[in-house]
Amino acid sequence: MFGLGVPELIVIFVIALVVFGPKKLPDLGRALGKGIAEFKRATEEVKETIETEVRSVENKVEMDKIKADVEGVEAEIRDLSDAAPVTGTKDSAEAGAKDLKEEGSSAGEKGTDAYGKS
């Protein structure tokens, strides 16, 4: 943990036993254990809070990128619709269909299909 081996821990235990005495040592150990557990718990809470905030910021950045992409596409669509308005009427569409029918009938007279095969 902190580079302490077994001999160092024995020395610390003996010094604590001499300083605090055998009656207080178990209480001291419990208090130390509770303090370490509380420190770990607080550290985990801080870690989770930081991770939550980082995820929140990442999601916000992704949403901003998506919004910018959508706005760019909308602008392109507007530019295209402004540049090339749809022209033509129902009559011109019917005339195009009639031309296609005529081409099909002339292809049928020649004995070939739409792919030029007989």
Backbone angles phi, psi at 87, to 5 degrees: -115, 165
Q: 3 — alpha (psi -120 to 50), left (phi > 0) or beta? A: left
In this predicted model, what pLDDT tens digit does every residue of 23-56 receive, in sequence order? 888 898 899 899 999 999 999 999 999 999 999 9
Place of tokens 């596409």: 73
In this predicted model, what pLDDT tens digit does every residue of 59-104 receive, in sequence order? 999 999 999 999 999 988 888 887 765 555 555 556 666 666 665 5
Q: How far apart are CA 22 and CA 35, in angstroms?
A: 20
Q: What is the pTM of this model?
A: 0.45
In this predicted model, what pLDDT tens digit does every residue of 7-16 receive, in sequence order? 888 898 889 8
Which carries the bigger pLDDT value, residue 68 or residue 106?
68
Please give the pLDDT value at position 3: 77
**DSSP codes of every residue in 60-118:** HHHHHHHHHHHHHHHHHHHHHHHHS-----HHHHHHHHHHHHHHHHHHHHHT--TTS--
Question: Do 28 and 16 contact (CB within 8 A), yes or no?
Answer: yes
HSE-up of residue 42 (Cα within 13 Å, Cβ side): 6
Q: 112 — alpha (psi -120 to 50), left (phi > 0) or beta? A: beta
